[in-house]
Amino acid sequence: MMQINIWKILVVHLSIIIGFSCSLQRNPEDNPDIPAIAKYFSTKGRYEEVNPHLIEDVLAVNRSILQPPYAQCREIHLTAIIRHGTRYPTTKNIKKMQKFYDLVKSRASGKESWLREIQTQWTMWYTEDMDGRLVQKGVNDHKHLAVRLSKLFPSLISEEKLRGGFIKFITSSKHRCVNSTLSFKAGLTELWDIKDKEFDHAVNDALMRFFDQCTRFLQEVDNNPSAVTEVDKFRQGPEMRRVQEKIADRLSIPYNAITDDMAEAAFYLCAYEFAIKTVNSPWCRLFDEVDAQVLEYANDLKQFWKRGYGYDINSKSSCILFHDVFSRLDQAANENKSGQQVTEAVTVQIGHAETLLPLLTLLGFFKDSEALTSTNYATQTHRSFRTSHMLPYAANLLLVLYDCGGGDLRLQPLLNEKPVTFPGLTDQKASMPLYQDVREHYGELLRGCDFENECQLFKHPSEM
C-alpha cells in the first residue's frame, strides 16, 4: 500500500512537471503513448479518441455546450442509450490474433527493435475464455461517464432522484452490458457514498438486442453472406492487397503469407493493446496512417451493410427501441404539462454498437449522398459515416427534454456528449428544436415503423 502511495505521489508530481513542459503541445497526436493510427479503430476505438480533452481530465464537463435557447429552460427528462465499455476480443478474433502472432514469431525476420520486441518479449496473453468480457478499463468507462453525466445534468442525475427511484436502468443480457450497467451505477453510488441501498436494473433483450429477434433481418442480412458482398470485394480488392503487402514487407515474409484476415488480426492486436492497456504496442508498427484508413473503411463498410444504410431492414429492426424512446419522452412531456412530477427523470439503457447504429440510422444521422461500396474508397474519404467517430466503446446517444416555460418543450440530442442536430431539422433555435417539431419530423415513423410488421419475412402486399 505504502509503495503505491509513494508511486502515486511521484506520478502526480511527474505529470505536473510534464504538464507544464508540454502545455504547448497537448495534441494527442504528439503523445508517444498514443498510436498515430488510434483514431481509425472503428468500433474497437477508445472513447477518449472522440473526446480528447478526457485524456487530461476524465471527469471534465463543460456545461456551456448545452446552450438552451432561453435562460429559463430546465431539463425534465434524459434518455441515455449507451454502448458497453471496453472489452476483450471475442473468441473468434482471439483465434485470428493467435494465428497471426504464431506466424510473426516463427517466420518474420528483421532487426527492427519493435519486431524483436514482439518476438522475444511480447506474449500472447489473450485466452479464448475472455470472450468479449468487460475489462477494467470498461468498468472505468462507465463509472466516469456516470459521473460526467451527473455533472452535465445535475438536476436529473442526482442523489435525490436516484434514491427516489426516478432513474431507471435497462440492459442487454450480455455479461459485458450487465457489468457496464453495474459500473455505471457504482459510479453514482461511489460519488454520493451511498452504502445503504441498492438499485435495480431490468434486463430487456427485446429492446436492447432487437436485432436477435427480427426474423427478416436475421434471414436477409445477418445470416446471409451475399448481403455483405461489397465487404468481401473490398477485402479482396487493390487497397487491401496493398496493406497486406506492406505488412509482409515489414515482416520480410512472402506476400501470399498475409491474408486479409491476418491484416485485420494485426490491426486488432494494436487496437486491443491500446484500448485495454493504454499501450502503444509494437504491433502498431505494422501500419502507417494510410493502411489504417483502409482498414477503417473495411470496418465501416461492414457496419454500413450489416447495421446501417445498406438495407432498410437494418434500421427498421430498431423500431421497437425507437417507439420506446418516444413513449418515454411523451410520458415525461405529458406529466410535466399536466402538472405532475416526471416519474422517469432518467432512463439509462445499455446495449451494443449493434443497438445504437440501427437507431442512429433510423433517425437519419451520418447519411452520405452515396452508399459505401467496394469501389468508392477514394471518393468516400470525407464521408460522415465513420464508426471510429460514432461508435467507440461507451458510445452514447443522449436525448434531453427541456421545459422552457409556457408549454415550450424542446429536445436536444447529443452523441458522445456533444450536441448534434437531427438531420433535416436544422432550421431551429441552436441545436434545440421544439419537441413537437421533432415528433412531426419523425411523424411517419411514429405512425408506422412497426417491429412485428417490419420483421416478418413476408410483408402484406399493401404494406410494401
Ligand X SMILES: *[C@@H]1O[C@H](CO)[C@@H](O)[C@H](O)[C@H]1NC(C)=O
Residues in contact with ligand X by CB under 6 A are 62, 64-65, 74, 76, 134, 139, 175, 179, 336, 339, 341, 403
Task: For ligand X, give the closer residue by CB, 62 or 252.
Answer: 62
Task: For ligand X, give the closer residue by CB, 254 or 339.
Answer: 339
Task: For ligand X, give the closer residue by CB, 179 or 281.
Answer: 179
Least CB distance from residue 430 to ligand X, whole Å?
11
Task: For ligand X, give the closer residue by CB, 74 or 116.
Answer: 74
Least CB distance from residue 340 to ligand X, whole Å?
6
Cell numbers representing residue 126 in the block: 489473450
Task: For ligand X, give the closer residue by CB, 76 or 321.
Answer: 76
The residue among 417, 353, 419 whose CA lies nearest residue 86 is 353
Least CB distance from residue 402 to ligand X, whole Å?
8
Residue 322 burial (C-beta neighbours within 10 Å; 0-12, 13-18, 19+): buried
The residue among 144, 151, 148, 146 whose CA lies nearest residue 167 is 146
The residue among 310, 311, 302 whose CA lies nearest residue 353 is 302
Q: How far is Cα 179 from Cα 267, in angstroms, rounded to an integer?
A: 26
The residue among 302, 318, 298 whose CA lies nearest residue 222 is 302
| Catalytic residue flag (residue 144) | no
Least CB distance from residue 100 to ligand X, whole Å?
26
Q: Assess contact for 185 and 146: CB atoms under 8 A.
A: yes
Task: For ligand X, give the closer residue by CB, 170 or 313.
Answer: 170
Helix intervals (H) in 171-237: 175-191, 205-208, 215-217, 229-235
Least CB distance from residue 153 to ligand X, whole Å?
12
Cell numbers representing residue 271 in the block: 487496437
- Number of residue whose CB is nearest ligand X: 74
Least CB distance from residue 135 to ligand X, whole Å?
6
Please tell me which residue in 13, 53, 77, 84 is annotated as part of the active site. Answer: 84
Q: What angle do CA 332, 77, 166 make, to 5 degrees?
A: 85
Residue 58 burial (C-beta neighbours within 10 Å; 0-12, 13-18, 19+): middle
Residue 338 half-sphere exposure toward CB, CA atoms < 13 A: 9
Per-residue burial over 27-57, b if 16 or more Cβ lie within 10 Å, else e, is ebeebeebbbbbbbbbbbbbbbbbbeebbee
| Catalytic (active-site) positions | 84
